[in-house]
């Protein structure tokens, strides 16, 4: 029985959120996100007929996002941005306490910094597996690399990410001023 052809409507809008998350995880800032998303949509539209139904759709989309984002970063006019929290959420009554928000942001920045130190080939596998939930076979097919290479890159990425995160936390904690003991009753000899 021949497989039904995949249509653009099958892919979008149901996978639009996935494409946005993938592009954000690949380091695109808010100002570039919509433009690059449109480029991804055009590539998907052009290559949809050649989609291999044996492959996982999410892994195929991630591979397209990866290539389009890499091409975008190679352009000279691109500036790197760190995503900032949405201002509307801060204005809502359910906003977290300032110290909780500061800790959350610090943790996110540490994780983002640790991710950026990974080689791109390792970071891509790490993000696809850990953040997007793709399986190793799907990653292998999407990136056109042997399965053993995916396992190796994932192992290296996890080890390097954890090591870098520990180093960042140690450095951050070393910079914090030591806590002072509370002033208690004076112990003077009489």
Q: What is the pLDDT of residue 90?
A: 46
Between CA 45 and CA 24 the distance in angstroms is: 21
**Backbone φ/ψ region at 133: left (φ over 0), alpha (ψ -120 to 50), beta:** left
Burial of 46 (0-12, 13-18, 19+ CB in 10 A): exposed
| Low-confidence stretches of the chain (pLDDT beneath 70) | 1-4, 76-96, 170-190
Q: What is the pLDDT of residue 22?
A: 85
Q: What is the pLDDT of residue 154?
A: 93
Instruction: For 120-173, give the DSSP string.
Output: HHHHHHHIIIIIT---HHHHHHHHT--HHHHHHHHHHHHHHHHHHHHHHHHHHH
Q: What is the pLDDT of residues 139-179, one digit of tens each?
A: 888 888 999 999 999 999 999 998 988 887 766 565 555 44
Which residues make Cβ contacts (< 8 Å) with residue 163, sequence separation at least 6? Answer: none
This prediction has a pTM of: 0.53
- Is the preceding omega at residue 13 within 30 degrees of 0, hence cis? yes
Reference 134, options 18, 29, 12, 33; nearest CA is: 18
Q: What is the pLDDT of residue 171?
A: 67
Domains of the chain (ranges, CATH numbers): 1-81 (1.10.1740.10), 96-174 (1.10.10.10)
């Amino acid at each position: 029985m021949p497989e039904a052809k995949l249509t653009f409507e099958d892919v979008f809008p149901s996978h639009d959120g996935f494409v946005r998350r993938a592009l954000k995880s690949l380091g695109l800032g808010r100002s570039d996100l919509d433009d690059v998303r449109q480029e991804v949509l055009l590539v998907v539209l052009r290559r949809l007929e050649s989609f291999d139904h044996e492959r996982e759709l999410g892994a195929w989309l991630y591979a397209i996002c990866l290539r389009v984002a890499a091409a975008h970063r190679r352009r000279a006019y691109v500036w790197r941005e760190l995503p900032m929290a949405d201002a509307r959420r801060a204005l809502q009554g359910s906003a977290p306490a300032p110290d909780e928000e500061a800790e959350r942001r610090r943790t996110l920045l540490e994780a983002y910094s640790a991710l950026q130190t990974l080689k791109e080939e390792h970071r891509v596998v790490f993000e696809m597996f850990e953040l997007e939930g793709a399986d190793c076979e799907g990653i292998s097919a999407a990136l056109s690399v042997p399965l053993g290479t995916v396992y190796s890159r994932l192992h290296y990425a996890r080890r390097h990410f954890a090591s870098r995160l520990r180093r960042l936390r140690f450095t951050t904690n070393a910079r914090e001023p030591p806590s002072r003991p509370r002033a208690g009753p004076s112990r003077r000899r009489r």
